[in-house]
Amino acid sequence: MSSEWILDKNHLSYWLRQLRKEADLIGPLRKPGGDIVFESIERIHEIFLDLPALIPGPKEFLFPQYEKLFNKRDSKVEELSIKRKRVVFGVRSCDVSAVRLLDRFFLDRFEDPFYSNRRANTLLISIVCNNPEPTCFCAGIGTGPYLREDYDIQLTDLGERYLVQAASKQGIRAIKAYSFIFSKPTRTDYDDQFEVQLSAMARFQKRISLERVRSMIITGKVRDTFWEKVATRCFECGGCVYECPLCTCFTVIDRVFGDEIERARIWDACLFKGFTRLAGGVLPNERMVMRTKRWYYHKLVHYPEVIGSFGCVGCGRCTIVCPAKIDMATVAIKIKALADNEEKIIEQKE
């Protein structure tokens, strides 16, 4: 179920201003030096629309790096779930795909109240990427550059107007309340939308088939020596896990401030040897290669088995944050090269 409208670009700021009356409006802003980051928006005209993939992705609004869970004072426990309403404007399609998978992790079976509260109060407005970055590879996974379903609100830039699609109840409400600035799309609008989609697909520099990589791994064609080489380079920074919109490693800490105890959860990373430290100081994954391999296996083998899709949406963030250049895309391309090589050898034999 999706409802569609046309919004004149001149009316975008009016619409956002109305949304801001009920929620904290967050969007991309350009900082001195040229970085673009998500921030609360003071002046709507400063929103930076021609944006690259942002570091960090919108995961930080649903599952922040440091999140207070509860306070305890004089045996009274106060839960600190954040229920503030938020509109995050300008997220990417891959990010929305990632949030869908995060939902399954945090909400299926056991519902995480902290995530759940934040999620229920966050409206994501995504923009179809008609200018993917060199690091992006969502097209091959089907998680972008545009979405067919399961978004809140999706905008497609058609020049001087946006095609606006809403799929969630929240999303539809955010449009219907201001219906006088939206109009019905016409045939030409859909033609233009189709053209944008085609041209977006054509602009990807990276074409990666994770399926191919997966089959190489599960058929045992990627040797440990390969993983050794990858792992030796790792700086153990944790960046890939922290910034991956799908990674959910965390740890829980308690802090004592005088007579008040605070419990918080903070981002952690399975790539650290201490992540699986056992009593007595035993480190079952002391060798880096075991941890590197585990990250890739989790994303490429276990995820498809358990959830039915890859643990990667092709956002390319790990490519940006990895100082060692052993990110998903680079490693996938290397594994594919192994596969191609193998085929060549077989051909030669024949």
What does the binding site for another protein look like in residue numbers (CB under 8 A)? 24, 26, 31-40, 52, 55-56, 60-61, 64-67, 232-233, 235-239, 242-243, 251, 253, 255-258, 266-269, 272-274, 277, 281, 320-325
Shortest distance, CB of residue 166 to another protein, whole angstroms? 24
Which one of another protein, ligand SF4, none interacts with residue 34, CB within 5 to 8 A by kind?
A: another protein
Dihedral sign, Cα of residue 175, residue 179, residue 183, residue 184: positive
Residue with tokens 């904290």: 24
Interface map 258-297 toward ligand SF4 (x if CB under 6 A):
-------------x--------------------------
Count other C-beta atoms under 10 Å from residue 217's C-beta: 17
- Nearest partner of 292 among 260, 253, 262, 322, judged by Cα: 322
Q: Is the bond leading into 56 cis (omega within 30 degrees of zero)?
A: yes
Q: How many residues bind ligand SF4 (CB under 6 A)?
A: 27
Q: What region, left, alpha or beta, does residue 226 occupy, with left being phi > 0 and alpha being psi -120 to 50 degrees?
A: alpha
Give whichever of 67 and 327 is closer to ligand SF4, judged by the CB atom.
327
Among 102, 158, 196, 328, binds ligand SF4 (CB under 6 A): 328
Shortest distance, CB of residue 78 to another protein, whole angstroms? 15
Q: Any contact of residue 244 with ligand SF4 (CB under 6 A)?
A: yes
Residue type at position 203: R
Shortest distance, CB of residue 57 to another protein, whole angstroms? 10
- 230-245 residues labelled b (16+ CB within 10 A) or e (exposed): bbeebeeebbbbbbbb
Element (H, E) at 88: strand 86-92
Distance, in Å, from the CA atom of 330 to the CA atom of 220, rounded to the nearest integer, reads 19
3-state secondary structure of 329: helix
- The interface with ligand SF4 within residues 302-321 (CB under 6 A) comprises 312-318, 321
- The interface with ligand SF4 within residues 219-238 (CB under 6 A) comprises 234-238
Residue type at position 190: Y
Shortest distance, CB of residue 159 to ligand SF4, whole angstroms? 30
Which one of ligand SF4, another protein, none interacts with residue 281, CB within 5 to 8 A by kind?
A: another protein
Shortest distance, CB of residue 141 to another protein, whole angstroms? 22
Give whichever of 178 and 226 is closer to ligand SF4, judged by the CB atom.
226
Which one of ligand SF4, another protein, none interacts with residue 245, CB within 5 to 8 A by kind?
A: ligand SF4
Segments in the chain forming alpha helices (H):
12-20, 59-62, 93-107, 113-120, 169-176, 187-202, 210-218, 224-233, 239-243, 288-297, 303-306, 317-321, 328-349
Shortest distance, CB of residue 239 to ligand SF4, whole angstroms? 4
Shortest distance, CB of residue 70 to another protein, whole angstroms? 15
Shortest distance, CB of residue 234 to another protein, whole angstroms? 10
Which one of another protein, ligand SF4, none interacts with residue 9, CB within 5 to 8 A by kind?
A: none
Cα distances from 168 to residues 31, 171, 174, 284, 328, in angstroms, run: 32, 5, 10, 44, 31
Q: Any contact of residue 140 with ligand SF4 (CB under 6 A)?
A: no
Distance, in Å, from the CA atom of 168 to the CA atom of 148, rounded to the nearest integer, reads 12
For binding to ligand SF4 (CB under 6 A), which residues are involved? 234-240, 243-246, 271, 299, 312-318, 321-324, 326-328
